[in-house]
Amino acid sequence: MRPALVAALMASLVATVACDGDGSRAERRPPGSSAGTTAASGTSSPATPAPTPEAPTLAPRPRVDPDAFDPAAARRTVVRLAGGIGPRHATSPAYRSAADWVAGRLRAHGRVVRRAPVAVPGGDSWGVPVGPGRSFNVVASPPGLDPTEPHLVVGAHLDTVPQSPGAEDNASGVAVLLEVARVLGEARTRLPVVLVAFGAEEPRGPSDADHHFGSRAYVASLAVGERRAVRGMVSLDRVGVGAVVPVCSAGGTGTGARARVLAAARAVGVPAIACENRSSDHWSFARAGMPGVRIGSTPYAGYHSPGDLPAVVDPRQLGRTGRVVLAWLR
């Protein structure tokens, strides 16, 4: 065979081997290699990343339900404070014991708790001499609270006059506060809620300047922006007696806030009456320009006496009060 013909045949054979079945240039791979491996380097080419799984979407907490309030649980708090601890004036060891217990309950309900000291003068507390000392407020905030953003405050004073176990005045208010805290731990409200057990509400003298030391200290600690952020304050003070819920503004101020609480009572079918009263911690807020309202104040025989025992308190009235508060927070 002539050399030129041999060369042509060899060229044709090489071209055939180098092409795939449809005439396109085939990729040559060493035995055992895969399409993602480069023969020269043995490295893998970038693979298409697997899709990132989406984070699970958490269902929002249900809106707060006023019917979730448990009067029996509130009643147990009254028994613990008035029957177990007893009289607890603002600077006494008994007050510190009560505050320790309340702080623990508030933490158990998911609150961020701090103690704010309050300097308290000596004086005469409903006929009993008391020395000066330090009390404190137990302040319980929702996690992540920005105090310059709109929020609500619910408070109840924890102290008593020295001679009284204080079932109605004011274990009843603290009992509603703690049961509200439990319900809020499982539900959402229209605005964040700060809960406060105030120290040193009870008088140490005859004038307006001789009581409400805890709430006055709390208000004084608020910066201007924090005061503006308080869109409403309710003081729970003597809320376990009677069958109608008193809702009191402070000396003509806060009538708009009172109207909103009364509307909340109507919404849940609780009988309520409007009143005027400065004799509780809402007055510290109202006179500083914040909307403050008191719930409670029905007269009763054991007021500021050794007879203010758990038997005085009606759990049904605790339930009415709690439902009004939760309806207001909705």
pLDDT digits (tens, 9 = 90+) for 271-288: 999 999 999 999 999 999
| pLDDT confidence band for 51 (50 / 70 / 90) | low
Q: Residue 64 in contact with residue 329, Cβ under 8 Å? A: yes
The reported pLDDT for the residue numbered 61 is 83
Average pLDDT over every residue of 293-317: 98
Nearest to 234 by CA among 177, 183, 298: 177
- Write out the two tokens for 7: 């060369």
pLDDT digits (tens, 9 = 90+) for 225-236: 999 999 999 999
- ∠ CA 169-175-180, nearest 5°, is 135
The reported pLDDT for the residue numbered 55 is 54
Q: Residue 170 in contact with residue 90, Cβ under 8 Å? A: no
Average pLDDT over every residue of 159-187: 98
pLDDT digits (tens, 9 = 90+) for 238-258: 999 999 999 999 977 778 999
| pLDDT confidence band for 190 (50 / 70 / 90) | very high
Distance CA 115, CA 138 (A): 5
pLDDT digits (tens, 9 = 90+) for 125-150: 999 999 999 999 999 999 999 999 99
- Burial (0-12, 13-18, 19+ Cβ within 10 Å), 92: middle
| pLDDT confidence band for 38 (50 / 70 / 90) | very low
The backbone region for 289, taken as left when phi is positive above 0, alpha when psi lies in -120 to 50, beta otherwise, is left
pTM as predicted: 0.83
19, pLDDT greater than 70: no
The reported pLDDT for the residue numbered 253 is 77
| pLDDT confidence band for 36 (50 / 70 / 90) | very low
| pLDDT confidence band for 1 (50 / 70 / 90) | very low
| pLDDT confidence band for 25 (50 / 70 / 90) | very low
- ∠ CA 121-81-72, nearest 5°, is 140
Q: Read off φ and ψ for residue 19, nearest 5 degrees.
A: -110, 155
Q: Dmax over Cα atoms in the chain, in whole Å? A: 137
The reported pLDDT for the residue numbered 212 is 98
Please state, rounded to an integer, the average pLDDT across all residues of the chain. Answer: 88
